[in-house]
Structure 1
Amino acid sequence: MGHREELMAGAKRCLEERGYARTTSRDIAAAANAPLGTINYHYGSKEALLNAALLEMLDEWDDKVRARPAGSAHRDRAGAGAGSGSRLESMWALVVESQVTDRPLLVAGLEALAQAERFPEIRQQLADAFERARPELAADLHGLDGAEEGGVARAVGSVHMALIAGLTQQWLVDPDRAPSAREVAAGLRAIARALDESDA
């Protein structure tokens, strides 16, 4: 394994053990058993390396909570539409479970969002990751093709992103009173009924 790969592995380890805000360049170099100067040589800055490591980790987390093997293609459109209610509730259950199993990663993600206000590079990388995730969520969970149903697919993906982020924040702050997957599903059904009634 070369220095670049060692630095990436070290950065991931530091994110889990120390978090985003508390990780220094020296921490990463020590975890990677690599010279300090290799961080700037391979990644340009500590922040760029941490961002790359965090985005890789969040991609892996995303695959896990959607029960989708890493690197796999989206579900086909016919399959994606069947049983979407139970599939969504299963996904929320995985999101809730991950609040315990992946808490350090999720805290690091929130810390990175806070840093985005002061670092345009971080903000751009996170914004680009959000934009990639919107059509993927719509395709995986509802069989919506972004190329054919761009506006609807983007809107559906955006709602799911908001729900995942909000659920994560509630569980990180107040796990004893945060909603379960079943409560989230019940709330969404009530909201959907109210929207249908208002359009009638």
Structure 2
Amino acid sequence: MGHREDLLAGAKQCLLEKGYARTTARDIVAASGANLASIGYHYGSKDALMRKALIASIEEWGAGVDHGGDRAVAEAEPLDRFAATWDRILQQIASEPQFIAAQLEVLGLLPRDAALREAIGEAHPQGGEGLVAVFEGVPDTEVGPEAARVVGPFYQALLTGLMVQSLISPDAMPTGRDLATALRRVTAGEVLGHEKGAGEEVR
């Protein structure tokens, strides 16, 4: 790799190990083996490099739950597909607490960092589209603008909330089946209905 790629890899490492705000230019240099001057040359500033590292890390994490247009996923019953997909995502959330912590730290910085907010804002719609594709078992190219606009934010809201919960109460996380059962009960108007207990299955 050249210095540009080394710097990006070093910044992504620092994002996980030190967090977004605490990472300094010297931290990135130490992690990458490059030099201070190369940060300005290739990225303009340390902050610009960290924004690139953040977006790249998000994209890589998202690729980890991508089914690749798996036909079995696409042909499953909707609630079964919903449950199975969440199980895969929840497993990834549990396995990468440093990444989750870094993402949530960044959310708190957005009101005071316009450049960071702009960078996240540009990537956000694509993230919603990608989640719709994952849950529907289709390639991104098959997700229309209306589905991305309406359903994408729904999945993003659930994902963000589950990330928060994973840091607060990692031992009390719902399963994919729990989430599917909750969705069915909400849409059926059965949230406060007869309780069947923890073993209730999605119908």
1:162 lines up with 2:142 in the alignment: no
User: In the alignment, what sits opposite 2:112?
Assistant: 118
1:191 is matched by which residue type in structure 2?
A: V
Aligned-partner Cα distance in 2 for 1:40–1:109? 25
1:99 aligned to 93, 98, 102, which one?
Answer: 93
Q: Is the 8 A contact 1:80 1:139 kept in 2?
A: no
5 Å-filtered alignment, 1:23-34, equals 23-34=23-34
- Measured against aligned partners, the alpha-carbon deviations of 1:9-45 in whole angstroms (never above 9, x if no partner) come to 1111111211212211110011111111211221122
TM-score, reference length from structure 2 = 0.82
The 1:98/1:138 distance shift into structure 2, 3 A limit, reads closer
Find the residue that maps to 1:12 and give its secondary structure.
Answer: helix
1:57 is matched by which residue type in structure 2?
A: S
- Measured against aligned partners, the alpha-carbon deviations of 1:120-139 in whole angstroms (never above 9, x if no partner) come to 11101111111112223223
The 1:136/1:24 distance shift into structure 2, 3 A limit, reads same
The 1:176/1:190 distance shift into structure 2, 3 A limit, reads same
Structure 1 residue 88 displacement after superposition: 2.0
- Measured against aligned partners, the alpha-carbon deviations of 1:31-76 in whole angstroms (never above 9, x if no partner) come to 11111121122112212111211211111111212334xxxxx568
Structure 1 residue 175 displacement after superposition: 1.0
1:188 is matched by which residue type in structure 2?
A: L
**Number of aligned positions between the proteins:** 187
TM-score, reference length from structure 1 = 0.83
Which 4+ runs in 1 deviate beyond 6 A?
Answer: none
Aligned-partner Cα distance in 1 for 2:91–2:70? 23
Aligned-partner Cα distance in 2 for 1:79–1:31? 39
Structure 1 residue 81 displacement after superposition: 5.3
